[in-house]
């Protein structure tokens, strides 16, 4: 039975019109139609990744419910591929199904006040205690931590080793009494980001992903997938922000100028190049895990989002300066196209920071894609405990 036949069988057995949303999503996962390239029993069929589009199109035509991917993007795009590659069978069985259905939201505890661009310098400690670990430290810029059930966490387990080698990777229970989540209000007025304080948080060793001390290697899988998830999403032509700006241009001829027209044309071409490049990148993923090439997609996405949001504000003139609501909220999704131009302009400023700053991504591209000489790093072989802080 091919994927189309399996999808039609799912719809015949679980009519979306009369089936509870969560029940349908669970049935879809169990049928191997969640992510068809995953192994059987884990929401997939071991089929080519390209066949997911067949499943998605058939389900969309039947008005079947989806799993609200914007809300659970960290779980889908970062935690799931990491667990699949490095997790034990027990971890895969425990976490992947409720992750995909959206029953359990995930966040990412990586960045720290003193370890953002230089992530490997992180200082959050995990100390072995019997059959588990005790974690103390602080994380920052954590999206959706206020709604998360679980977190992917990297912490230092051996301060005597160089900074890249003394890190381990864990799954952290965000309901542990030692986890405190505080909102970080942004330029937009929202607080989608958080700072997270970890005080005596206990993590069982069964929630360690990968071997002790190999957390940096595991984290590279997470980071590479994160960049693809942010910059390489599938979109139709004129999808996303370029579509919003183009629609305004067509509907408001009185706003047009020659200079703005030239910028719109350049933005449209850049958006199409990024879209087509993203499609090629997704096709390459059928043969393995994403590599550093995803950094280029994320870098290009951030630049274009800032250029287009700025163009939209200038195109609208005084109208572009309006802002509907500055009340502090704690959203669970970022809605770029559902708000006004002023919001998009401010929120896009974060695109060049989140998911790896543009400056760091340029280093990744230079060293790991183009093969240029690496910058001198005098601290690479020093024990972490001897690094100046």
User: Which of 66, 95, 116 finishes a domain?
Assistant: 66
User: Which of 66, 98, 115 finishes a domain?
Assistant: 66
Q: What CATH number corresponds to the domain at position 269?
A: 1.20.140.10
Q: Is residue 73 part of a domain?
A: no
The pLDDT assigned to 182 comes to: 98
Number of domains in the chain: 2
Lowest model confidence (mean pLDDT) among 18-27, 186-195, 220-229, 281-290: 281-290
Structural domain including 53 reads 1-66
pLDDT mean over 282-305: 76
389: pLDDT strictly greater than 90: no
Q: Is residue 386 part of a domain?
A: no
Token representation of residue 301:
């996405």
DSSP one-letter string for 101-151: HTSS-EEEE--BTTBSTTGGG---EEEEETTEEEEEEEE-S-TTGGG-SEE
Looking only at the bridges linking them, the beta strands covering 106-109 and 150-156 are parallel
Lowest model confidence (mean pLDDT) among 97-111, 149-163, 199-213, 326-340: 326-340
Q: Is residue 27 part of a domain?
A: yes
The pLDDT assigned to 290 comes to: 63
Q: Please list, in sequence order, all residues whose beta carbon lies within 8 angstroms of the beta carbon of residue 3, skipping any fewer than 6 positions away.
A: 33, 36, 45, 47, 51, 54, 55
**Quick one: what percent of the chain has pLDDT higher than 90?**
71
Q: Is residue 109 part of a domain?
A: no
The active-site residue out of 51, 104, 192, 226 is 226
DSSP one-letter string for 185-250: --TTS---EEEEEEEEEEEEGGGEESSTT-HHHHHHHHHHHHHHHHH-----TT-THHHHHHHHHH
Q: Is residue 99 part of a domain?
A: no
213 near 166, Cβ under 8 Å?
A: yes
315: pLDDT strictly greater than 60: yes
The pLDDT assigned to 109 comes to: 98
Per-residue pLDDT tens over the stretch 9-24: 999 999 999 999 999 9
287: pLDDT strictly greater than 60: no
Q: What is the mean pLDDT of the chain?
A: 91
Q: Is residue 292 part of a domain?
A: yes
187: pLDDT strictly greater than 80: yes
Q: Is 226 a catalytic residue?
A: yes
User: Which of 51, 66, 81 finishes a domain?
Assistant: 66
The pLDDT assigned to 311 comes to: 96
139: pLDDT strictly greater than 70: yes
271 near 319, Cβ under 8 Å?
A: no
The pLDDT assigned to 288 comes to: 58
Q: Is residue 310 part of a domain?
A: yes
pLDDT mean over 112-129: 92
Token representation of residue 322:
């309006």
Per-residue pLDDT tens over the stretch 224-265: 877 766 655 677 888 889 999 999 999 999 999 999 999 999
The pLDDT assigned to 332 comes to: 86
The pLDDT assigned to 292 comes to: 67
Q: Is residue 93 part of a domain?
A: no
Per-residue pLDDT tens over the stretch 56-111: 999 999 999 999 998 999 999 999 999 999 999 999 999 999 999 999 999 999 99
Per-residue pLDDT tens over the stretch 317-342: 988 888 888 889 998 888 877 888 99
5: pLDDT strictly greater than 70: yes
pTM of the model: 0.89
């Amino acid at each position: 039975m091919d994927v189309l036949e399996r999808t039609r069988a799912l719809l015949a057995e679980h009519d979306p019109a009369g089936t509870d949303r969560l029940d349908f999503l669970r049935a879809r996962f169990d049928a191997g139609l969640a992510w068809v390239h995953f192994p059987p029993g884990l929401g997939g069929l071991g089929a080519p990744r390209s066949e997911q589009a067949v499943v998605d199109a058939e389900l969309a035509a039947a008005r079947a419910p989806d799993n609200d991917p914007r809300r659970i993007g960290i779980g889908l795009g970062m935690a799931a591929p990491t667990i699949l590659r490095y997790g034990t069978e027990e971890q895969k069985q425990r976490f992947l199904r409720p992750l995909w259905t959206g029953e359990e939201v995930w966040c990412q505890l990586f960045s720290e006040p003193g370890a953002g661009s230089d992530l490997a310098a992180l200082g959050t400690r995990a100390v072995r205690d019997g059959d588990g670990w005790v974690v103390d430290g602080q994380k920052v810029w954590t999206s959706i931590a206020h709604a998360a059930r679980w977190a992917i966490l990297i912490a230092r387990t051996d301060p005597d080793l160089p900074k890249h080698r003394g890190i381990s990777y864990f799954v952290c229970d965000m309901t542990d009494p030692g986890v405190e989540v505080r909102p970080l209000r942004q330029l937009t007025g929202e607080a989608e980001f958080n700072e997270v304080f970890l005080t005596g948080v206990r993590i069982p060793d069964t929630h360690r992903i990968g071997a002790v001390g190999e957390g940096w290697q595991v984290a590279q899988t997470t980071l590479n997938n994160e960049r693809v998830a942010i910059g390489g999403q599938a979109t139709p032509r004129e999808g996303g922000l370029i579509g919003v700006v183009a629609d305004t241009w067509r509907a408001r001829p009185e706003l047009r100028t020659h200079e703005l027209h030239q910028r719109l044309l350049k933005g449209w071409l850049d958006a199409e190049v990024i879209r087509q490049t993203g499609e090629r990148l997704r096709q390459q993923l059928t043969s393995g895990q994403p590599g550093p090439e995803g950094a280029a997609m994320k870098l290009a996405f951030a630049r274009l989002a800032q250029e287009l949001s700025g163009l939209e504000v200038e195109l609208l003139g005084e109208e572009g300066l309006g802002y509907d609501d500055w009340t502090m909220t704690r959203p669970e999704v970022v809605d770029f196209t559902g708000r006004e131009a002023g919001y998009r302009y401010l929120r896009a400023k974060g695109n060049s920071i989140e998911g790896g700053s543009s400056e760091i991504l340029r280093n990744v591209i230079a060293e790991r894609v183009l093969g240029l000489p690496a910058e001198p790093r005098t601290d690479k072989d020093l024990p972490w405990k001897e690094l100046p802080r």
